[in-house]
């Protein structure tokens, strides 16, 4: 693997993001990920390798250019959702009563993180 290519860990995060946040389970590196040495026209994600100034990250076109830093917990990750649901049990009630899948829960947590849900 060359320096500019996504690491195995990065690929797993990208795959998990596309599956969890967007329901895309047919992940294909050559089709879905653009990086400095490969820029497929159909790419959904742009991978930016680690530099001496910044950790590796990826940008998701389906999240309106949302930037995800490799190894950083986000609302789309199960451990982040669990943390938020523990701290704000009201969201757990909303989730149980109105959201029925992981994608819906990720969206709920994302909106909560952005302050768009207000006080519950």
Domain shared by 30 and 13, yes or no? yes
pLDDT bin (cut points 50, 70, 90) of residue 120 is very low
Establish if 1 belongs to a structural domain.
Answer: no
Q: Are strands 33-34 and 57-60 parallel, antiparallel or unpaired?
A: unpaired
pLDDT bin (cut points 50, 70, 90) of residue 83 is low
Average per-residue pLDDT for the chain: 78
What's the confidence (pLDDT) of residue 82? 66
Establish if 118 belongs to a structural domain.
Answer: no
Domain shared by 64 and 93, yes or no? no
Domain shared by 62 and 82, yes or no? no
21-37 confidence digits (pLDDT tens): 888 899 999 999 999 88
Establish if 119 belongs to a structural domain.
Answer: no
- Residue 21's domain spans which residues? 8-69
Count of structural domains within the chain = 2
Domain shared by 61 and 33, yes or no? yes
Domain shared by 90 and 64, yes or no? no
Residue 40 has pLDDT above 90, yes or no: yes
Q: Considering the chain, what percentage of its residues have pLDDT values greater than 70?
A: 65
Sequential DSSP letters for 85-115: HHH-HHHHHHHHHH--SHHHHHHHHHHHHTT
Q: Is the dihedral of CA 62, 64, 67, 68 positive or negative?
A: negative
């Amino acid at each position: 693997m060359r320096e500019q290519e996504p690491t195995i860990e990065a690929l797993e995060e990208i795959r998990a993001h596309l599956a969890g946040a967007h329901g895309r389970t047919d992940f294909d590196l050559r089709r879905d990920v653009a990086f400095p040495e490969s820029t497929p026209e159909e790419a959904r994600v742009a991978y930016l390798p680690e530099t001496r100034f910044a950790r590796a990250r990826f940008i998701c076109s389906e999240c309106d250019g949302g930037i995800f830093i490799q190894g950083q917990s986000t609302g789309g990750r199960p451990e982040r959702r669990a943390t938020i649901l523990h701290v704000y049990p009201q969201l757990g009630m909303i989730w149980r009563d109105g959201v029925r899948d992981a994608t819906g829960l990720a969206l709920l947590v994302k909106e909560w993180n952005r302050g768009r849900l207000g006080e519950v």
